Amino acid sequence: AATLGVLGGGQLGRMFVHAAQALGYRCVVLDPDAASPAGAVAQDHLKADYLDAAALEELARRCDAITTEFENVPARALEQLARSRVVAPGASAVAICQDRAREKAHFDASGVACAPYAVLRSSADLAAVPDALLPGILKTARLGYDGKGQRRVADRAQLAAAFDELGRVDCVLEQMLPLALELSVLVVRGAGGEVVTYPVQQNLHRDGILAVTEVPAPDVDAALQAQARRSAAAIATGMGYVGVLCVEFFVLKDGRLVVNEMAPRPHNSGHYTMNACDLSQFEMQVRAMAGLPLREPRLHSPVVMLNLLGDLWFDGAGRERAPDWAGVLALPGAELHLYGKAQARAGRKMGHLNVIGATAEEARQQARRACAILGLPDTW
């Protein structure tokens, strides 16, 4: 059988491996951590650093095509692999997604509006920041996630202090926008240039981490949904992207659509596809990298996805406890996915619960019951 490789051993890699194996592929995971969620389910696990040239050589030797499951894989690793194997997504597209300054330039080039911004590379750039960007959010250009590596700044004094705090690394300052809601779109592009998109996902974050995704997006009209899907497709095509790409958007209080950022891989907000669509985002990634047909995915059920963070594994006094999975699994439409992580920690992504229904109201109702059982807030 053909073999697919994945750089990174987290939960996204694990769900990718499951989808690949269901289609008959063997999988090899490369991850430095001997106990990674994906390494535990793949046929082979190369325990090595992502820049270990010999390990990459070995991965290329064993695999027909290779993908990545985390955003910060060194572009150099992808370049080395691409000399002998299909690599999707490619190094140049991943490099754009890894750097907010390049990402924003790509949004501009694609004709998709993003927040007004300035790139700050040194303290000298602080003085040139236009007043219109304040109040704003200062974000490190690289390596931020789950709201880490960002500071909200009200004025120039706070901006200078935040730039120091973040270590004076390259940053992007964005104007603080009045958000009505947040959404994201999964777009999949094949090596031949064919593009399909998934329905728009409406997302709620708590403390900077995705908490709830609802599809169909209850508060986004059809015209705006179509615009988001067109914009995501243009962004993917414009960088010659191959594979699954997730593009995050804001809807502003005045109704305008603004692109926020993108992730070069299947995405947490796309986990609903595993139970609510005929093709999951992970199967799409397999199809795109293996050169299999991409067809328009179909949403067969309204769905609410609840993220299950490590906090659920602790009671109010900080004692570890087991969430009531049996109670949740008794609910109609509830599908539980746990990532096999040994140790729960506050804020750590441990799993997710997809709740599908015959109607959106039914999915919401059962999801609220799940929240009550698990001790999650039931408002979104």
User: Should residue 130 be labelled a site residue for ligand ATP when binding is judged by CB under 6 A?
Assistant: no
Instruction: Provide, rounded to whole angstroms, the least separation between the CB of residue 225 and ligand ATP.
Output: 19
Q: Which one of 76, 102, 142, 205 is in contact with ligand ATP (CB under 6 A)?
A: 205
State the maximum Cα–Cα separation within the chain, in Å, rounded to a whole number: 60
Size of the site for ligand ATP (CB under 6 A): 18
224 — phi, psi (to 5°)?
A: -70, -35
Nearer to ligand ATP, 72 or 227 (CB): 72
Q: Cβ neighbours of residue 376 under 8 Å, at least 6 residues apart?
A: 306, 312, 370
Rule CB under 5 A: which residues touch Mg ion? 248, 261
Query: Which among Mg ion, ligand ATP, none contacts residue 115 (Cβ within 5 to 8 A by kind)?
Result: ligand ATP
Write out the DSSP string of 31-83: -S-TT-TTTTTSSEEE---TT-HHHHHHHHHH-SEEEESSTT--HHHHHHHHT
User: Should residue 325 be labelled a site residue for ligand ATP when binding is judged by CB under 6 A?
Assistant: no
Nearer to ligand ATP, 5 or 144 (CB): 144
> Which positions from 249 through 308 interact with ligand ATP, judged by CB under 6 A?
260-261
Q: Is 150 annotated as a binding residue?
A: yes
342 — phi, psi (to 5°)?
A: -70, -40
Q: Is 194 annotated as a binding residue?
A: no
Nearer to ligand ATP, 80 or 269 (CB): 269
Q: Is 316 annotated as a binding residue?
A: no
Which token pair is 33? 């951590």
Q: Which one of 208, 240, 255, 347 is in contact with ligand ATP (CB under 6 A)?
A: 208
Q: Is 39 annotated as a binding residue?
A: no
In single-letter form, the type of residue at position 310 comes to G
| Gap between the terminal Cα atoms of the chain | 45
Q: Is 281 annotated as a binding residue?
A: no
Nearer to ligand ATP, 22 or 179 (CB): 179
Residues 372, 367: Cα–Cα separation, whole Å:
9
Q: What's the half-sphere exposure (Cβ side, CA atoms, 13 Å) at 254? A: 4
Nearer to Mg ion, 31 or 248 (CB): 248
Q: Which one of 35, 113, 160, 176 is in contact with ligand ATP (CB under 6 A)?
A: 176
**Which DSSP symbol is given to 87?**
E
Q: What's the half-sphere exposure (Cβ side, CA atoms, 13 Å) at 164? A: 6
Stretch that binds ligand ATP, among 3-11, 142-150, 281-289, 297-305 (CB under 6 A): 142-150
Q: Is 188 exposed, middle or buried (0-12, 13-18, 19+ CB in 10 A)?
A: buried
- Answer yes or no: are the C-beta atoms of 308 and 212 closer than 8 Å: no
Stretch that binds ligand ATP, among 155-163, 170-178, 216-224, 358-366 (CB under 6 A): 170-178
User: Should residue 199 be labelled a site residue for ligand ATP when binding is judged by CB under 6 A?
Assistant: no
Beta-bridge partners for 186: 246
Q: Is 65 exposed, middle or buried (0-12, 13-18, 19+ CB in 10 A)?
A: buried
Instruction: Provide, rounded to whole angstroms, the least separation between the CB of residue 258 and ligand ATP.
Output: 8
User: Should residue 332 be labelled a site residue for ligand ATP when binding is judged by CB under 6 A?
Assistant: no
Q: Is 156 annotated as a binding residue?
A: no
Nearer to ligand ATP, 213 or 280 (CB): 213
In a 3-state reduction of DSSP, which class is residue 174? strand
Footprint of ligand ATP on this chain (CB under 6 A)? 115, 137, 139, 144-148, 174, 176-177, 179, 182, 205, 208, 248, 260-261
For the annotated binding site, the residues are 100, 139, 144-150, 174-177, 182, 205, 260-261
For the annotated binding site for ATP, the residues are 100, 139, 144-150, 174-177, 182, 205, 260-261
